[in-house]
Structure 1
Amino acid sequence: MIHAKQYGSSGPNLIVIHGLFGNADNWHSIAQSLAEHFTVHCIDLPNHGKSDSMSDASYPKMAEAIFDWAELNKINTFYLLGHSMGGKVAMQMAANAPVGKIEKLIVVDISPVDYQPSHTRILEGLKAIEKSQPASRKEADALLSSYESNLAVRQFLLKNLVRSEQGFTLELSVNNIADSYSTILEKPVMENVVDIPTLFIKGENSDYIVAQHQEAIMALFPNASFKIITDAGHWLHAEKPLPFTSLVKRFLQ
């Protein structure tokens, strides 16, 4: 089952999909702001947050899980926004959706290309937390710091910590993510061109969307437009929430 958080209850449906190691809560403040105009549904992807675990978490399988959730909740048409890995899930959904189901698509700081591995040490660190079940958040951070030196990245990862009777554990299926990691790095499985109006938003300082990706994007998304948020990296929605939210509203309205 897919778990989701709803914000607002008037206006068209907007489904928001987080990235790798994230969850619905990452989008809390953005969703609150967008809820003035939309009924916002922030999804926990399989293996993340409170959603079920999934072995072999391929893009077609994750896309299908969200379509099933939408059908169950009688959400027949919607706008779709995905960040990073969630952007790839969103692209996969757009490629598979029947005409008219997804009205507009926003892809945040990711391209439909294969990426090089960059989370191997993080996965080792998360496995170490799972194994030792630290007694406090401070202890978990100390453990993770041996694998990831960047404090902001660690703080983001440790948002997945939950207290259990044995100590702190993670609301992530770390082993499933590790097993699916090579698939996660690949581009979505897209056999059709996507004609839906699509906005790609890039963080100026991020290298997840680069100039040489434009050809691949335009070949699959001929109806794509591009915006850059200045002085922002890969987490542009967290770094620059106001310009980000206004871009989203302007494109969807």
Structure 2
Amino acid sequence: MASSNFPTLIYLHYWAGAGHAWQGVADALGSDYSSLAPNLGGFGGAPAPTGGYTLDAYANAIAAYIKEQRLTHYVLVGHSMGGKFALTLAARQPVGLVGVALLSPSPPTAEPMTEQDRQESLKAYGKPAEAEKTFQTITARPQPPAIKEQIINDNLRSSKGAWDAWLLHGSRENIAARMCDVQVPCAILAGDQDQIMSPSVHGLETLPLLPDDTPLEIIGGAGHLLPYDAPEEVAALLRDFVSRLPLR
């Protein structure tokens, strides 16, 4: 039974991932912390969000999910693409939101990606060999065979609509002007071996747009997929973050 003193953690996964990516973090946190990890539209077998694949459509879907769960006290924990969704929703100042934790987040500005990388990613859709290459790029620590298979299968299970929409539109959407409306405590976690977005990206593109006391925590030896590469470290940092949040 989770303690009523702790808010529910709403985990929002990375692009081409699924909700079960958070299992290691949830296990490391233990039963005192209640959590939910939905599959986001177009990933993990979930249907497309109503209204398409825009940031606001995803934020609407997440808000509706929270309402369905009847949550009144929660933290958004967004990873990569999920981080940008978390910020989109947080800027609306929804009732019950008490904090936002961002893991290797896609920045509120257009995500730094060369046109060559974008085109290569578009062409990689549905190709097992490319999914294997992506796995090698986004992880830095050794993964058990079952976890490697899970990461690759999640990549291949993504819908083409969601895949293309993020690369062509979502990752490019600029919501920087909305960030002044994010009024809850925030934290950023990053891996120093991240080949997708280095900690400097977060320091330059995201941190200046968040509340002044927002920390940027660096996890040594971890790559882009922090929930898989560093579940224990992520759990410890989340535990500390949640412990500092005001009870509402």
Say whether the fold is shared (TM-score over 0.5). yes
Once the two structures are TM-superposed, the CA of residue 85 in structure 1 deviates from its matched residue by 0.4
Match of residue 158 from structure 1: 152
Instruction: Report the TM-score when normalising by structure 2.
Output: 0.77
Q: In 2, Cα distance between the equivalents of 1:180 and 1:226?
A: 25
Of 221, 241, 245, 2:211 maps to: 221
Contact 1:63/1:90 (<8 A) preserved: yes
Contact 2:122/2:167 (<8 A) preserved: no
Deviations 1:5-31 (A, max 9, x none): xxx655431100000000011111212
Give secondary structure in 2 for the equivalent of 1:26.
helix
Structure 1: runs of 5+ lacking an equivalent: 1-7, 130-140, 162-169
RMSD after superposition: 2.7
Secondary structure (helix, strand or coil) at the match of 1:82 reads strand
Matched residue SS, 1:196: coil
Structure 1 residues 66, 188: closer, same or farther in 2, change over 3 A?
A: farther
Output the TM-score relative to the length of structure 1: 0.76
CA distance in 2 between counterparts of 1:49 and 1:204 reads 28
Indicate if the aligned counterparts of 1:88 and 1:188 stay in contact, CA closer than 8 A: no
Which of 66, 82, 85 aligns to 1:70? It is: 66
Larger Rg: 1
What is the aligned residue count? 222
Could you say which structure has the greater relative contact order, defined with CA pairs below 8 angstroms and 6 or more residues apart?
Answer: 2
The 1:211–1:47 alpha-carbon spacing in structure 2 relative to 1, beyond 3 Å, is same
* Higher strand residue share: 1
Task: Give the Å deviation of 1:109.
Answer: 1.0
- 5+ residue gaps, structure 2: 138-147, 244-248
Q: Deviations over 1:180-233 (max 9, x none)?
A: 422222255242412211110111122514436535422343341111001111
* Same amino acid, percent of matched pairs: 20
Maintained 8 Å contact 1:205/1:232: yes
CA distance in 1, matches of 2:108, 2:198: 9
Q: Which amino acid aligns with 2:75?
A: Y
Q: Deviations over 1:138-173 (max 9, x none)?
A: xxx4xx25x764554684653238xxxxxxxx5321
Residue by residue, what CA displacement relative to the aligned partner does 1:83-117 show, whole Å, maximum 9, x if unpaired? 1001111111111123x521111001123231215
